[in-house]
Amino acid sequence: MCYEEDYEEESMPLIGDPFPEFEVQTTRGKMTLPKAFSGKWFVLFSHPADFTPVCTTEFVAFQKKYAEFKSLGCELIGLSVDQVFAHIKWTEWIKDNLHVEIEFPIIADDGTVADELGIIHPGKGSNTVRAVFIVDPKGIIRAMLYYPQELGRNMAEIVRMVRGLQVSDSNKVAMPADWPNNGIVGDHVIIPPATDVETAKKRLEDKTIECFDWWLCHKKL
């Protein structure tokens, strides 16, 4: 008689999943995620390694956008598989040489967090990919981005994503491409398509919105 061993298959988290709980060591002390940011949005971003050129430009760029993130009620936290001493020395170098003080915490990961999030770069040892996780105040992952080592991130797009998700949640609308500068509807938002005949008919009669057709309607907030 054969017996199958029961096991739980591990998989990386997906959009809509709760952000996994971790106790982490950071440059600002020990933290428990996502509890440390309970009630706030936060962006966790990983970088391949300290003292590398593209990562250095990214950290300066994130810091220069930090006030804008905070104005949206959103915190930042970085991560790489490096010791906390390396993080501290690197941020000191950035302050001394580039005159930018990194104010957000950086996780010193031993590989545990990176493994569970699925962000170890294939074939690159312990280096992590340039991943971004946008997490809402309930601790739910709302968006994920992955970049290769050779391509630095666009911070303005990450700010736009946080703002867009917040607008969507508050108004039950969707964001068009390049929002708020879309080539078709400008700064308008998209109204979710009707899902029944009666609503579709009424949609075209609604004078408070603009429609190209019943399934493509938009409005200004």
Q: Is 158 within the bounds of a domain?
A: no
| Closest listed residue to residue 29, CA positions, set 77, 80, 99, 96 | 77
* 202: CATH: 3.30.1020.10
Output the six-digit token pair for 28: 């600002």
Asked if 60 and 97 sit in the same domain, the reply is: yes
Where does a domain end: 153, 184, 203? 153
Q: For residue 60, is pLDDT > 80?
A: yes
* 139: CATH: 3.40.30.10
* 118-141 pLDDT per residue, tens: 998 777 666 788 999 999 999 999
* 135-144 pLDDT per residue, tens: 999 999 999 9
Q: Kindly list the catalytic residues.
A: 55
Q: Give the whole-angstrom CA distance, residue 102 versus residue 65.
A: 11
Arithmetic mean of pLDDT, 40-54:
97
pLDDT mean across residues, the chain? 93
Asked if 146 and 179 sit in the same domain, the reply is: no
Asked if 52 and 136 sit in the same domain, the reply is: yes
The whole domain housing 147 covers 22-153
Output the six-digit token pair for 19: 């952000």
Output the six-digit token pair for 125: 């040892």
pLDDT (0 to 100) of residue 125 = 62
Q: Based on the structure, what is the number of domains in the chain?
A: 2
Asked if 189 and 134 sit in the same domain, the reply is: no
Asked if 137 and 179 sit in the same domain, the reply is: no
